[in-house]
Amino acid sequence: MIQRPRGTRDLLPPDSRLWQGVEDAAREVFSAFGAEEIRTPVFEATELFVRSVGDTTDIVHKEMYTFPDRKGRSLTLRPENTAGVARAWIENRLHDRSHPLRLYYIGPMFRYERMQAGRYRQFAQIGLEILGADTPLADAEVLLALAEFLARLGFDDLVIHLNNLGDPEDRERYTAVIRETLSPQRSSLCADCQRRLDENPLRVLDCKVPRCQELAAAVPAIDDVASAASRDHVNAVEEQLRRLGVAHVRAPRLVRGLDYYLRTVFEVVSPRLGANTVLCGGGRYDRLISDLGGPVVPGVGFAIGEDRLVEVLPEAFRSRALASPRLYLVPLGTAAAARSLELARDWVRAGVPVELEVSGRSLKAALRRADKDGLAFVAILGDDELQAGVVSLRDLARGEQERVAVAGVPAWWQGRQA
């Protein structure tokens, strides 16, 4: 039997309803903050990610699905989407539109990850980016939209971990500080971190190996060597979060795993997922678009891992999203079956979700099935009902049955849903 590739998933009903519920909420909340959807290709030129995410990051170094197409061009399944949005900005001359532009996206990303809980090779992200504004207010707005979205899903235990990554010039100084602090312990670092110490020392602070984390604790916080401007920026973001009552803490060693960030960086972890399974990550990236050859356009945004988000959805949202009331229409006999599709059409047009019994089940078998599948409302259409222009509506939960004129069914249904 052919099986799905490792690290991919089949999303089946009823779980797909949870994903739909989450995505509906994201669209609602983000568009209420003035964002519009952007859809970019699932694959891009490999160079895009090498130049934006960074060629010494884990993502580019060992996690990309890269392949030559038939003409030998190197393409990569997108491991993230900020780079794609930046590329689209340049290519479509979005600079000519009025700024800032708020863009959101929902879609699959691909990383060749080692298999662990919460890590998939195809996973979905829900992201929001504000391009064209460099103020702390823009960062705070992005974080507010994130907090409002999470609150809409019913989360009340999530905290934003926030740090100042400084400006790129500060980073050079900081890199020297990291090398100085950690070089004497070099041989105690994991093999990856020994390489990182040469290529991109900042990444050592992001290592999940406990021994590396212990050693990294001796490195001073980046905020201590950062420019006054970047410190003021992130302090102003924090001040806004305080005013808004958005739960947040400073995480002095948070550096994120992508190279394009500066100043504000943040992550959200869920107590239910463990500290190493991040639910959402983001930050500011004012040089990304210009580094890719475009104009100087600042940006800030985040992406939430949808797979992980769905895993820890609060119970109330989960049960609301899973509930899918339908009217189960059971025609008995040939004449009723012939009429049933018309009724289904009329009721659907009037806003009643209908599930038509198309397998020819007997009334007894249909009721057994309704019970098993939680179809609490059944419309029975026998010869009798057909003659009288009515249906027998049964409410299984209340144990009631009444005959209702065919045209009165939508009103009856609305009454039951209130």
Q: What span, in angstroms and rounded, lies between the C-alpha atoms of 29 and 98?
A: 22
Sequence-ordered list of residues with C-beta below 8 angstroms from that of 119, at least 6 positions apart, any chain: 7, 113, 277
Instruction: Using the minimum distance from each CB to ligand HAM, give the nearer residue, 307 or 395.
Output: 307
Task: Name which of 131 and 216 has its Cβ closer to ligand HAM.
Answer: 131
> Least distance (Å) from ligand HAM to the CB of residue 198?
23
Closest C-alpha among 210, 208, 216 to residue 183: 216
CB of 243 to ligand HAM, least distance (A): 23
Q: What's the min distance (Å) between Cβ of 112 and ligand HAM? A: 9
Whole-angstrom distance, CA of residue 393 vs CA of residue 380: 6
Looking at residue 116, the DSSP 8-state letter turns out to be B
Residue with nearest beta carbon to ligand HAM: 305
Amino acid present at 155: F
Is the separation of the CB atoms in 277 and 121 below 8 Å?
no
Closer of 212 and 258 to ligand HAM (Cβ): 258
Give the residues lining the site for ligand HAM (CB under 6 A).
Answer: 80-82, 111, 113, 118-120, 123, 125, 127, 129, 257-258, 278-283, 301-303, 305, 307-308
Residue 204 or 370 having the CB closest to ligand HAM: 204
Q: Kindly report whether the peptide bond that precedes residue 331 is cis, defined as omega within 30 degrees of 0.
A: no
Closest to ligand HAM by CB, 302 or 377: 302
In the complex with ligand HAM, which residue's Cβ is closer, 148 or 307? 307
Q: Please, what is the minimum distance in Å from the beta carbon of residue 159 to ligand HAM?
A: 14
How far apart are CB 256 and ligand HAM at their closest, in Å?
A: 6
Q: List the strands of the sheet with 262-269, edge to edge.
A: 36-37, 101-110, 122-131, 299-305, 278-284, 262-269, 159-164, 248-250
Specify the residue, 300 or 329, whose C-beta has the smaller distance to ligand HAM.
300
Nearest distance from C-beta of residue 119 to ligand HAM, angstroms? 4
Taking the CA of residue 192 as centre, how many other CA atoms within 13 Å lie in the half-sphere pointing to its CB? Answer: 17
Chain CA centroid to CA 364, Å: 44
For the CA atoms of 81, 85, 87, 90, the dihedral, rounded to the nearest 10 degrees, stands at: -170
Residue (119 or 369) nearer to ligand HAM, CB: 119
Helix (H/G/I), strand (E/B), else coil: 213: helix
From the CB of 302, what's the least distance to ligand HAM, in Å? 5
Considering only CA atoms, which of 360, 320, 330, 347 is closest in space to residue 407? 347
391: its two tokens: 């249906």
Closest separation between CB of residue 282 and ligand HAM, Å? 4
